[in-house]
Amino acid sequence: MYVRHCASSENADAHIKRVKSFLPEHGQVGILCITDKQFGNIELFYGKKIQGVNTPGQQLELF
Non-local CB neighbours of 14 within 8 Å, separated by 6+ positions: none
The pLDDT tens digits along the chain (63 residues) read 788 889 999 999 999 999 999 998 998 999 999 998 998 999 999 888 777 777 777 776 766
Give me the pLDDT at residue 1, please. 74
22: exposed, middle or buried (Cβ count in 10 Å: 0-12, 13-18, 19+): exposed
Give me the pLDDT at residue 63, please. 61
Give me the pLDDT at residue 58, please. 74
Give me the pLDDT at residue 50, please. 74
Non-local CB neighbours of 33 within 8 Å, separated by 6+ positions: 6, 9, 12
Asked if 33 and 12 touch (Cβ cutoff 8 Å), the reply is yes
Provide the residue type at 26 as one letter.
H
